[in-house]
A and B are shown apart, each in its own frame.
Chain A
């Protein structure tokens, strides 16, 4: 299950837990939500069972922040593939 997140609101993590349950989870972070890709949130996301974290390249470059090691930076072309290239369920939060 791939969660599209563009807001840096902590309550979103509770919604991810509620919706995602025991399923494998991945995050696609854009806009201010790229802050979820920093080391501050690493343990919390691991506890939620988030296995993959994708971070929008232009959002990251605009903020000049440092991501944790597990994040993968993706451009628009790659985001289109993540959203439309497979059969994974997409949840927009």
Chain B
């Protein structure tokens, strides 16, 4: 005990210099750190700084919005774009500062930003009334006397002219048949290869598509018989009535269709939505070169889920959907008699 005491006394006498030095070093380090911190971040993580910057920015944006007059359309657009951008930056600034703000300040700032966004939108509506976007394939059709002809790829150059661009593009320039009555329509394998085919607004027609398209859209078709080779991806059917459809595909999506028979080869799944009286049977059409077309399409000829139809309006499992049926074997068509006219 005594020895310890002596030792202790000894130390207190001996060490001060060392302690002093260390203390000095510690203080210096502290000072250095403080300086470093100040130079880096303190300015930005300070509530006063935030408030000042925020309100300055806010005032600038408000000025921008209020000075935006109806007279010069282009200038007004530019200013509103500016205001939108600045508001977004302000929001980002607020987000970055959220850690050191009090709940109250945060709420206030958030409300200000929202108000700014609101007034930008209002101002935009005032200065630039919304452009009306029109898109009607029907008007496009009637304005095109040539639309009743099968549309081939050679017509590509005619689209995209002037204001009507969107209208024209809707119906023209698409490979397939549109707006035809009471005819036999045929496409050959060589030209159809892996294209996207559209059949629309047909009535009382027989359509035969040899070859393997990539995808097929069938829309607004009445009392037609449509035969088609293997389709690599999906077939999309919409608004068909009284038709007989015969094809192979990877997916079939059927919408708004009534009283239609489908002779189907589908490797994944067929679905119906908003349909009534649709009936299914297995695909039984053959033509010369079909095996090769199956190879091109990538479809497995042995895998056919034609009878597993999902009805999106009938999700009750257990009870079958009343919207589709299987065609009884005795009533199935077996001879498609794809006799071609000599033309």
Bound pair: A and B? no
List A residues at the B interface (Cβ < 8 Å): none
